[in-house]
């Protein structure tokens, strides 16, 4: 029970820190633009409710994801303004698929966990990457950026394999010899 409380407290402090960081760095001038963050907090709470109280329904995950995306969309429309269009924010939709896959795999058997969670994480980070170009956070041309930075894929693969080897418990399967 203590781990659950620490997890919720950690999440609350993280959200508060992100909101305050947006304010202190000048990204958000007025805190009134952040009222939709309440939707995000409610959405995350709904998702956590499912994982911390096992007998709750799976609908709480879907409700949480919907509330989170509404909150993100409203914050983006408040911060960016009228220049926000579907052509610019399209990566949010695959991002939602990635989040749903990750949480769907969470708490399942290891084979199911990896078959849902790993693709979910990959889709989420690819969506974040495309969102950076959509919102002109990265000003470079996409093609030139990929040509210049493609070796990062090898670095990411190498780090992932290394982390997997460190956390491998050495459990042998019956078919391993």
Q: 110-149, pLDDT tens digit by residue? A: 766 777 778 888 889 999 999 888 888 888 888 888 888 8
Residue 71 contacts residue 40 (beta carbons within 8 Å): yes
Alpha-carbon distances, residue 102 vs 34, 61, 66 (angstroms): 26, 11, 15
pLDDT tens digits for range 24-40: 777 766 666 667 778 88
The residue ranges of every structural domain in the chain are 1-81, 85-177
E strands in 5-156: none
Q: Averaged over 49-56, what is the pLDDT? A: 66
Residue 1 has pLDDT above 60, yes or no: no
Q: What is the pTM of this model?
A: 0.50
| pLDDT for residue 168 | 63
């Amino acid at each position: 029970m203590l781990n659950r409380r620490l997890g919720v407290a950690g999440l609350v402090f993280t959200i508060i820190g992100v909101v305050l960081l947006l304010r202190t760095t000048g990204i958000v001038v007025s805190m009134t633009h952040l009222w939709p963050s309440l939707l995000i907090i409610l959405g995350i709470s709904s998702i956590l409710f499912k994982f911390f109280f096992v007998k709750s329904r799976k609908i709480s995950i879907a409700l949480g994801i919907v509330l989170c995306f509404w909150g993100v969309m409203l914050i983006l429309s408040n911060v960016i303004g009228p220049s926000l269009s579907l052509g610019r924010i399209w990566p949010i939709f695959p991002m939602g698929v990635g989040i749903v896959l990750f949480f769907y795999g969470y708490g399942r058997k290891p084979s199911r966990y990896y078959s849902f969670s790993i693709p979910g994480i990959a889709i989420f980070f690819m969506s974040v990457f495309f969102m950076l170009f959509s919102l002109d956070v990265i000003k470079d041309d996409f093609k030139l950026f990929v040509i210049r930075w493609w070796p990062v894929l090898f670095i990411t693969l190498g780090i992932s394999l290394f982390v997997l080897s460190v956390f491998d418990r050495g459990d042998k399967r019956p078919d391993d010899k």
